[in-house]
Chains A and B, each alone.
Chain A
């Protein structure tokens, strides 16, 4: 208030009270007293009263107050925006206001948020798509591998989706370093590492990383809110998360899931929340952020392939062992079955053995059937089939097999052929070859048809042999005679006896084989005397032998006796001893021209 105004204000205050003197102040007139007091008051605190009046009028005038508050409020809000009480007080009405605004007309708010929402939605969609593409790529990568087949089996077994199983197996990464970087200066606020020995100067890395972020942002003119999110070199990646005051950079090796980014974001948000004051007051003192260490260390994830190595190896080893065991068992089973099958085949092929049934019981092979006593022992066939005798249980009933080999064996057993005789069986006919006594041949011819599988004995070859044998023996025998006599010389009775025996043998053989022989008996003399005496002598000698042989001749031997005198001497000599050799009868057996029907030994 200026000095010029003061007298008028004072005047105004004093106007109603006039100008009372000091006496008035002491009198009993209340009006005079009041006027004096008011004057005094105007004199003493007139200026303050004016101010009070002015303030009162301002307070009483709502228009005035609205104007004043409108002037002050923005400044108050600006200057005290950090005061939490304002935030607290303003939040509910602001929220209600926004709600009411949206209810009334969502248009303006949507319009205002559009520039923010668009990029945010795009970013979310792009992030989700990137994740899907990443998963799809891996799916394709593994869709035709052995591992994927194993995973599909696991998926089927556990009921999880294939994607889940695959992700479970493929995610393997390690976050090696995490940098917390002040956003504008690039100063390193904190740094944690795990499992890396060669850490370069983190301060400089932090600075250069910030420089590169700035470089990318400047060079490609990206819009606000977008920034470098990742650097990637081979299997090493740097994932960058940006907050309002700080940037978090995670250096990781391997393939990390998208969820790691959420982890980083959450950690960064937490740091912003916990260190809001420190960020506000940051003047380069990085030790203020030492408390962020646990939050940063929580980001040092190491994700191993979950037991992929050892457990799968163990599983495969177990599977391999089981498979091997099954293969070995199957191998043995197949081998045993093959051996058994070969054994049964061998039994079936074996003469004199009829397999009726086969089977298995209590781990043993069973076989039952019929067996000829002359057939091979089934146990002896086991050796050949490599089966253990204890593995096989056989039950055999006896029977007589009519098969050729068994019939032949039985013929050998029954007929007991002498040495030099061979038996053969063909179409039921047993044939005997070799030299055999005719007595045996006759007996064999009788017994052979009684043997199962043999209809008759064909002994013609043996008989021929016997006949030839007999003929040879007969022709070697030359009985000698006494000089001038048709009687045997001394000691020749034995020769004649042999001759009779052999002739009888020949007669039997001839009868057996149904052939007729001509037995020519030629008498001889020595050269003493004339032919007129020698010819009749020689005839007599032949007749003598014929008479001796005739009784055993049978029907098949035809005798012809003749005499040639001394015309055909055995030796030509005058010595008496040698001349005796010429006094003889020679025998010559030849097949007869016609053969009468054979009576036959065989049937």
Chain B
């Protein structure tokens, strides 16, 4: 049995908790997010015949992120960088968060979840910005916590990347 810790990173209200909820069944109440600043969930899966348990650390997203919760990142094997496709500034915040995570964890795998794909009419992140990101080598997946689009794929892709020998 392989266990891996994954952190959910992203600005406030980008849909981190919704993505986790879409993906797992929770044991703890969401109120931990605002009180302790983190909520831990679990997802067991089988990838390429290997049993993997993902411990999903859903971190409370806010702008002053860096000050408090760096310790929550420790020991993570990867992270999901969540961007709200309807708010452009969340992409910039994601860049900052990626830098911070890189500082704490080193170069561990991560996946950018471009969330709220169901809200096409309010979409702000244009292709040019996406290409810029892709050129950096960041894997991007469009997701919708509402419809479930890309959710499974994001986590699986991240897990595969984490399981690759480094």
Contact = CB atoms under 8 A, between A and B. Distances in A.
B55 A185 contact: yes
A218 B68 contact: yes
Interface residues of B, number: 28
Contact of A214 (B3, B5, B71): B71
A215 B38 contact: yes
B40 A207 contact: yes
B120 interface: no
A184 B57 contact: no
A285 interface: yes
A241 B55 CA distance: 22
A215 B37 contact: yes
Interface string B73-116: 01111000000000000000000000000000000000000000
A211 B162 CA distance: 22
Contact of B1 (A183, A212, A285): A285
A217 B37 CA distance: 13
A450 to B, nearest CB: 120
B132 interface: no
Interface string A265-290: 00000000000000000011111000
A287 B1 contact: yes
A186 B71 contact: no
Nearest to A212: B36
B53 A203 contact: yes
A24 B80 CA distance: 83
B57 A207 contact: yes
Contacts of B53: 203, 286
Interface residues of A, number: 25
Nearest to B41: A204
Contacts, number: 82
Contact of B27 (A182, A184, A201, A285): A201
Interface in B15-70: 27-28, 32, 36-42, 52-53, 55, 57, 68-69
A185 B32 contact: no
A367 to B, nearest CB: 90
Contact of A185 (B38, B69, B74): B74
A103 interface: no
B51 to A, nearest CB: 10
B5 A187 contact: yes
Contact of B42 (A183, A185, A204, A211): A204
B114 to A, nearest CB: 27
Contacts of B39: 208
Interface string A436-467: 00000000000000000000000000000000
A215 B34 CA distance: 12
Interface of A: 182-188, 200-201, 203-204, 207-208, 210-212, 214-215, 217-218, 283-287
Interface of B: 1-5, 27-28, 32, 36-42, 52-53, 55, 57, 68-69, 71-72, 74-77, 162
6 contacts: A186-B5, A187-B55, A207-B42, A214-B72, A215-B37, A218-B71
Given A208-B32, A210-B40, 6 more contacts: A187-B4, A203-B55, A204-B40, A215-B36, A284-B2, A285-B2
